[in-house]
Structure 1
Amino acid sequence: MQTNRPLVLIALILSMFMAAIEGTIVAAAMPNIVGDLGGFTLYSWVFSSFLLMQAITTMVYGKLADLFGRKPVFMFGVIIFLIGSFLCGLANSMTALVVFRLIQGVGAGAIQPIVTTIVGDMYTIRERAKVQGYLASVWGISSVIGPLLGGIIVQFADWAWIFWMNIPLGIIGIIGVYRHFHEDITKEKKSIDYIGSTLFLIGISALIIVFVQAGTVWQWTSIETISLLLLFIISMILFILQEKKAPSPMMPLFLWKERLIIVANLATLLSGVIILGLSSFLPTYVQGVMEESAIVAGFALSTMSIGWPIFSTVAGHLVLKIGFRTTALLGGTALLIGTFLFSLLGPDKGPVYAAVCSFIVGVGMGLSSTTFIVAIQNHVDWNVRGAATSLNMFMRIIGSAVGASFLGGLMNQQMQKYFQNKEVNVNISNTDLLLDEDMRQNVTADELLTIQDGLSFALHHVYQGLFIIGILTFIILLFFPKVTPDDAKKI
Structure 2
Amino acid sequence: MEEPVIHKKKLKRPLVLASIMLAMFLAAIEATIVSTAMPSIVADLGGFSLYSWVFSAYLLTNAATVLIFGKLSDIFGRKPIFMIGISVFLLGSTLSGFAVSMEMLIFARLIQGLGAGALMPIATTIVGDIYTKEERANIQGYLSSVWGISAVTGPALGGFFVDVLSWPYVFWMNIPLGLLAMAGIIIFFHEDLDKTDRKIDYGGAVFMFIAVSTLMLILVEGGVRIAWDSQLMLLLSGLSLIGFILFFLQETRVSAPMMPFEIWKHRSISVANITSLTTGMILIGVSSYLPAFVQGVMEKPAIIAGFTLTTMSIGWPISSALAGKLLLRIGFRTTSLIGGVSLIIGGIFFFLLSPEKGPVWAATGSFFIGVGMGLSTTSFIVSIQSTVDWKTRGIATASNMFMRSLGSAVGAALLGGMLNSRIQSAINEADLDKELNVDSTNLLLDAEKRDDLSPNALEVLQDALTSGLHLVYLGLLVLAIISFLLITLLPKGEKSRLKK
Residue 261 (structure 1) aligned to one of 265, 269, 278: 269
Give the direction of change, closer, same or farther, for the CA distance of 1:313–1:335 in structure 2 (3 Å limit). Answer: same
Partner of 1:174: 182
- Return 30-39 or 185-194, whichever deviates more: 30-39
- Listed one character per residue, the Cα deviations across residues 126-167 of structure 1 (whole Å, up to 9, x for unaligned) are 111111122212333333333555577778886655444433
Superposition deviation, residue 49 in structure 1: 3.2
Partner of 1:430: 440
Residue 373 (structure 2) aligned to one of 348, 365, 368: 365
- Return 30-39 or 42-51, whichever deviates more: 30-39
Partner of 2:60: 52
Superposition deviation, residue 274 in structure 1: 1.1
- Listed one character per residue, the Cα deviations across residues 193-244 of structure 1 (whole Å, up to 9, x for unaligned) are 1110111111112222222343455554544434433332222122112112
Give the direction of change, closer, same or farther, for the CA distance of 1:440–1:39 in structure 2 (3 Å limit). Answer: farther
Report how many residues are paired: 490
> Is 2:140 aligned against 1:132?
yes
Letter of the 1:122 partner, please give it.
Answer: I
Letter of the 2:75 partner, please give it.
Answer: L
> Is 2:489 aligned against 1:467?
no
Partner of 1:206: 214
Once the two structures are superposed, the pairs formed by residues 245-324 of structure 1 within 5 Å of their partners are: 245-324=253-332
Partner of 1:63: 71
**Take 1:92 and 1:277, find their aligned partners in 2: how far apart are those partners?**
33
- Listed one character per residue, the Cα deviations across residues 311-347 of structure 1 (whole Å, up to 9, x for unaligned) are 1011111111111111111111111111221122233
SS at the partner of 1:322? helix
SS at the partner of 2:491? coil
> Is 2:396 aligned against 1:384?
no
List runs of 5+ in structure 1 lacking aligned partners.
Answer: none
Give the direction of change, closer, same or farther, for the CA distance of 1:420–1:325 in structure 2 (3 Å limit). Answer: same
Residue 252 (structure 2) aligned to one of 244, 265, 269: 244
> Is 2:468 aligned against 1:458?
yes
CA RMSD of aligned residues (A): 3.0
> Is 2:17 aligned against 1:9?
yes
Once the two structures are superposed, the pairs formed by residues 137-176 of structure 1 within 5 Å of their partners are: 137-147=145-155, 149=157, 162-176=170-184
List runs of 5+ in structure 2 lacking aligned partners.
Answer: 1-6
8 Å Cα contact 1:28/1:298 also seen in 2: no
8 Å Cα contact 2:312/2:366 also seen in 1: yes
Partner of 1:345: 353
Superposition deviation, residue 476 in structure 1: 0.7
**Take 1:435 and 1:373, find their aligned partners in 2: how far apart are those partners?**
38
8 Å Cα contact 1:212/1:409 also seen in 2: no
Superposition deviation, residue 116 in structure 1: 0.3
8 Å Cα contact 2:132/2:498 also seen in 1: no
**Take 1:483 and 1:186, find their aligned partners in 2: how far apart are those partners?**
35
What fraction of aligned residue pairs are identical, expressed as a percent? 53
Partner of 2:110: 102
Superposition deviation, residue 90 in structure 1: 5.9
Letter of the 1:426 partner, please give it.
Answer: L
Letter of the 2:481 partner, please give it.
Answer: I
8 Å Cα contact 1:45/1:405 also seen in 2: no
> Is 2:417 aligned against 1:409?
yes
Residue 336 (structure 1) aligned to one of 338, 341, 344: 344
8 Å Cα contact 1:32/1:435 also seen in 2: no
Letter of the 1:461 partner, please give it.
Answer: L
SS at the partner of 1:479? coil
- Listed one character per residue, the Cα deviations across residues 98-132 of structure 1 (whole Å, up to 9, x for unaligned) are 54433322111111101001111111121111111
Superposition deviation, residue 373 in structure 1: 0.4
SS at the partner of 1:262? helix
Letter of the 2:78 partner, please give it.
Answer: R
**Take 2:25 and 2:166, find their aligned partners in 1: how far apart are those partners?**
21
8 Å Cα contact 1:211/1:402 also seen in 2: yes
Give the direction of change, closer, same or farther, for the CA distance of 1:92–1:297 in structure 2 (3 Å limit). Answer: farther
**Take 2:452 and 2:58, find their aligned partners in 1: how far apart are those partners?**
34
Q: TM-score, normalised by structure 1?
A: 0.89
Give the direction of change, closer, same or farther, for the CA distance of 1:40–1:289 in structure 2 (3 Å limit). Answer: farther
8 Å Cα contact 2:387/2:496 also seen in 1: no
Give the direction of change, closer, same or farther, for the CA distance of 1:281–1:170 in structure 2 (3 Å limit). Answer: farther
> Is 2:205 aligned against 1:197?
yes
- Return 69-78 or 369-378, whichever deviates more: 69-78
SS at the partner of 2:192? coil
Superposition deviation, residue 372 in structure 1: 0.4
SS at the partner of 2:426? helix
- Return 436-445 or 206-215, whichever deviates more: 436-445
